[in-house]
Amino acid sequence: MTQLAIEISGLKKKFADKVVLNGIDLEVPVGKIFALLGPNGAGKTTLIHILSTLVPADAGSARIAGYDIISQKEEVKQAISLTGQFAAIDEMLTAEENLWMMGRLSGLSRSESRARARELLEQFDLTEVASKRVKPFSGGMRRRLDLAVSLVVHKPILFLDEPTTGLDTRSRRTLWDAILQLTDEGVTVFLTTQYLEEADQLADTIAVVHAGKIVAHGTADDLKSQIGGEVVELRDEHDVVIKEIPTGGSIHEIKQILDSLEKNTTSEGTRISIRRPSLEDVFLNLTTKEREESLR
């Protein structure tokens, strides 16, 4: 039987007249990376705040590392680390001092705090700036330090709320490597993101939330298979995609699409390419479908 790190059943939350979460059901196994995808305002951050006991739910239940988020709040807090959307570090201190301070506040001795700081500075490629104040750090350096601070004391479950927002490609990939290393150490990671590639690269399982509800759940391949077979792309003379047509993948259907495009395309510079469905195709398909259904 799979051991679960996070169990969510029927969670609901409303702010004033706006329904943010409308019955969320999810399970996350121990030691896995779970990604919650959704547009702005879909309820991703609210869900993390409820699971980390920062905000009460209106209805439903959840257990974190086996502990109930309502009746066992203190036990839940001891089992989790949380990195929010904005860096929670003191920019007037050095990188090393931020880590020392968190170690001491978490109950580590002076020597334990210093030893743990050295480990994390090396793990997150911050050794060269250990003695420098945080204020002039780049966004990527701040984010890596923020994640390191949240890991000073080992916790079995880590919540990451859009951890790479605003980072450049290199910084984002460095952080991905650090997250993957955590799961090698047995940490369960629950992350929210708007980056489809991030979920595709990192997550063992993915859920798409839209209008407060889970509209799809599975592995990246599971979700992509919902779209069907290949996607036919029509590109102009500048190699810009001007039309995309999902297909069922059959030779007959693709041939019909190609014949139709040939008859209705007059520019000599256009060309055809065929690719597998992406998470972006899934996301757009699901959220557009849900929006159309809500308007009926």
- Asked if residue 205 has pLDDT above 60, the reply is yes
* Lowest mean pLDDT across 16-25, 92-101, 128-137, 261-270: 261-270
Residues 111 and 30 in one domain: yes
How many domains are contained in the chain?
A: 2
Do 271 and 209 belong together in one domain? Answer: no
Q: When comparing pLDDT for 78 and 288, which is higher?
A: 78
Mean pLDDT, the chain, as a whole number?
Answer: 85
At 17, which CATH number? 3.40.50.300
In this structure, the answer to whether residues 185 and 105 fall within a common structural domain is yes
| 277 and 159 assigned to the same domain | no
90-107 average pLDDT score: 92
Q: What is the 3-state secondary structure (H, E, C) of the chain?
A: CCCEEEEEEEEEEEECCEEEEEEEEEEEECCCEEEEECCCCCCHHHHHHHHCCCCCCCEEEEEECCEECCCCHHHHHHHEEEECCCCCCCCCCEHHHHHHHHHHHCCCCHHHHHHHHHHHHHHCCCHHHCCCECCCCCHHHHHHHHHHHHCCCCCCEEEEECCCCCCCHHHHHHHHHHHHHHHHCCCEEEEEECCHHHHHHHCCEEEEEECCEEEEEECHHHHHHCCCCCEEEEECCCCCEEEEEECCCCHHHHHHHHHHHHHHCCCCCCEEEEECCCHHHHHHHHHHHHHHHHCC
pTM check: above 0.75: yes
279 and 178 share a domain?
no
> What local confidence, expressed as pLDDT, does residue 287 receive?
65
Is the pLDDT assigned to residue 296 strictly greater than 60?
Answer: no
Please tell me whether residues 160 and 121 are part of one structural domain.
yes
Domain shared by 74 and 122, yes or no: yes
Same domain, 48 and 84: yes
Which of 191, 217, 243 delimits the end of a domain? 217
Structure confidence at residue 249 (pLDDT): 63
Return the pLDDT at 39. Answer: 81
Mean pLDDT on 244-267: 74
Q: Does residue 232 share a domain with residue 179?
A: no
176 and 103 assigned to the same domain: yes
Out of 155, 189, 217, a domain closes at 217
Do 195 and 259 sit in the same domain of this protein? no
Q: Is the pLDDT of residue 295 over 50?
A: no
> Which pLDDT does position 188 carry in this prediction?
96
Same domain for 118 and 235, yes or no, is no
Domain that holds residue 263: 225-295
